[in-house]
Amino acid sequence: MLKILSGFFLGLLFTAFMAYIMAPSLMFHERVSPFGLEETVARIQQNIQNTGNGWSLSGLRDPAKAVQKDGSNTLPVLMIEACSTKYSAPILKDDSVRFLSILMPCKISVYKKNDGKTYIGNMNAGLMGKMFGPMVGEVMSHVAADQAKFLQFDPSKPAPEMIRGSSGGDAKGGAGGGGGGC
């Protein structure tokens, strides 16, 4: 009996340890971009605008700028913000999951690392959605499918211009038909 209990608890510890180690790679995706920072941002912005499903750009933030203003040196980081009222509306209308508004708008981070490469980081929307019940899981599965489209690049097409709107969007900032936010 002691062997069975010991094996059970060792199995639990191993499972917990593996979940702790693997959780970050499951919750977030990181990939190397085939382009530089600004071209990657511009291509993602264009893909967001062309995806449909109510997606619009709601901002472009530069969190590295605040760190640099404080006197620290950091590599570039740009955060693209986009929202689809088609997907945000069901969540914002439901009191039981409205707290998930903290995840809105959808953010995709484009940044440089010390290896000189440009990287793209985003949340695993499909997995995150499954943790909050069937309605949110369904909505976030659509968000995940659209996010995959945001990150498909056709290198044979010329690079678009990066849209340098501020958070909240303006006419040039690509606020689009969604009103610039969620």
Per-residue pLDDT tens, the chain, 182 aa: give them: 777 877 777 777 766 666 666 555 678 899 999 999 999 999 999 999 999 999 999 999 999 999 989 988 899 999 999 999 999 999 999 999 999 999 888 999 999 999 999 999 999 988 888 889 999 999 999 999 999 999 999 999 999 999 987 544 333 333 333 344 56
Q: How far apart are CA 179 and CA 176, in angstroms?
A: 6
Q: Where are the domains of the chain?
A: 27-172
Tell me what pLDDT residue 18 has: 64
Q: What share of the chain is helix, strand, coil (3-state, %, to 5)?
A: 50, 20, 35
Q: pTM for the full model?
A: 0.80
Residue 16: the pLDDT is 66
pLDDT computed for residue 46 by the predictor:
96
Q: Which helix (H) or strand (E) holds 69?
A: helix 63-69
CATH of 27-172, one of 3.30.310.70, 3.40.50.1100, 3.40.50.1580, 3.30.2020.30: 3.30.310.70
Closest to 45 measured CA to CA, from 119, 112, 128, 110:
110
